[in-house]
Amino acid sequence: MNQDAKVTAPTRVLRVALLGCGTVGRQVAGTLLDKAEDLAAKAGCHLELIGIAVRNVNKPREGIPPELLTDDAAGLVANGGADIVIELIGGIDPPRELIVSAINHGASVVTANKALLAAHGEEIYAAAEKNRVDIYFEAAVAGAIPIVRPLRESLVGDEIRSVMGIVNGTTNYILDKMTNDHQDFEEALATAQQLGYAEQDPTADVEGYDAAAKAAILAGLAFHSPVSGSDVFREGITSVSTADIEAARASDCVVKLLAIAKIDEHDRISVRVHPAMVPYSHPLAMVNGPYNAIFVEAANAGRLMFMGPGAGGSPTASAVTGDLVTVARNRMRGVVGPAHSVYQAHQLAPMGETRTRYYVRFRVADQSGVLASVASLLAKHHVSVHSIRQTPIEDGREAASARVSMMTHEAQESDMMVCLEELEKSDYVLGSVRLMRAEGA
């Protein structure tokens, strides 16, 4: 190569408006301001930050020129002449109105807003397609982990059969502390909050709302059908006990909060979020701390694993900046990226018709015939037992009792729920019955 050759610097400018200047927004703004030449070389144009919409323009923000700040987000979007709008406010309103306004004014959009896309994605995708602009959202699902683009582009010629993953770092950290440090849920949550892995109000994470929104997005991408957050069965981790953790350990499993999207035998989509026992042999079992991982099974590509930091300022900003460069390249070429594909119309399978395996634990009167009665009850409802163990309980009580723990073969959820109800009503079961789903066999 001629050492005297000069690289021609990009001359065209694209104007970028940023909505939100929190942890992620500050890092994105810093990249646009401090690494402008590097971004220009990658994008093929200069990316000029024309404004940052915030609630309080008087709040000091280190490294951010005050003249860029505005509290008029609607005006910045509608009247600023932005080519690209980056939405990092979060929540449903006002981001919904701002994004639609940006699209209708001809701007492409980059967002990390999973709640909005899960609730109103179809409206936003349709607006983007109508106006021939991009909507990119890699950061909305798993932080820095590239999963949206592989599903939307790399694997589009394949047939996705299932997507299963750990998509919430907060809950994975909590369950990891419960497993490895023997903390109970409240202790593990407090540790996560102290370290900044959990919000002071952790409801969205620990009750599964965050993961459900991401599961809806993943299901829509994987199966080319409209799926909203309300379509996702959701169960959080607040009821997971140390006894559940130890039961999983005894079964060579670990408890994880999983987001699962599958096509069933009737060509319907099953989408759910719940704690599950995962065997040590499965790759997801080894994903620890605040990390995320997504396990994809495709007809031709086989099994694929995507893993990395799923939250935090730097990982999320990395995904946002990557989308920004891609969108800028598209605009420079006068093209748009792949539209959100919803050419299929899969029906949604009711949770009661979902099939999986179950771990069940309960206390019984320690007397002959109990296990036979349990097996008979399960068989009546088409539930087959894979393994069963009965352990005597010595707690000083007069009446002898034993703890029964068992793992079923794959069964239908509605059948298992009937068994659960009848077990709790039976004369030989003492107290409540604890059930946990098992995945990844």
Q: Give the pLDDT mean for 3-31.
A: 84
Residue 18 carries which side chain, given as an amino acid letter? L
Q: Give the percent of the chain with pLDDT over 90.
A: 83
Is pLDDT above 50 for 429? Answer: yes
Q: What's the confidence (pLDDT) of residue 368?
A: 83
Is residue 325 pLDDT above 70, yes or no? yes
The mean pLDDT of 333-362, rounded to a whole number, is: 90
Give 207: exposed, middle or buried? Use CB within 10 Å, 0-12, 13-18, 19+. Answer: middle
In whole angstroms, what is the distance from residue 297 CA to residue 162 CA?
5
pLDDT value at residue 366: 79
* pLDDT of residue 173 exceeding 80: yes
Report the pLDDT value the prediction gives residue 3, as an integer from 0 to 100.
Answer: 52
Q: Where are the alpha helices (DSSP H) in 197-288?
A: 203-206, 209-223, 242-250
386-395 per-position pLDDT tens digit: 999 888 887 6
Q: What is the pLDDT of residue 143?
A: 85
Say if pTM beats, i.e. exceeds, 0.85: yes
Identify which of 143, 137, 170 has the alpha carbon closest to the alpha carbon of residue 311.
143
* pLDDT, average across residues 113-124: 95
Region 370-391: mean pLDDT is 93
Looking at residue 131, its pLDDT comes to 96
Catalytic one of 214, 262, 380, 425:
214
Q: What is the DSSP string of 323-334?
A: HHHHHHHHHHHT
pLDDT tens for 52-88 read 999 999 998 999 999 999 999 999 999 989 999 999 9
Dihedral of alpha carbons 62, 68, 71, 74, sign: negative
Q: Any idea which residue has 């096509």 for tokens?
A: 263
Residue 72 has a pLDDT of 97
pLDDT reported for residue 6 = 55
pLDDT one-digit tens code per residue, 194-241: 988 888 999 999 999 999 999 999 999 999 999 999 999 999 999 999
| Summary mean pLDDT of the chain | 93
Catalytic annotation present for 214: yes
How far is it, in rounded angstroms, from Cα 260 to Cα 271?
A: 6
- What per-residue confidence (pLDDT) applies to 10? 73
Residue 369 has pLDDT above 90, yes or no: no
Pairing of strands 253-263, 46-53: unpaired
For residues 162 and 300, the answer to whether their CB atoms sit within 8 Å is no
pLDDT in tens, 94-117: 999 999 999 999 999 999 999 999
Sign of CA dihedral 61, 115, 135, 307: positive
**What is the rounded CA–CA span in Å between residue 196 and residue 375?**
47
Query: What number is the average pLDDT over the span 348-362?
Result: 96
The residues facing 51 across adjacent strands are 17
Cβ-based neighbours of 73, under 8 Å, separated by 6 or more? 19, 53, 89, 94, 98
pLDDT band at 1 (very low <50, low <70, confident <90, very high): very low
Mean pLDDT computed over 314-319 = 91
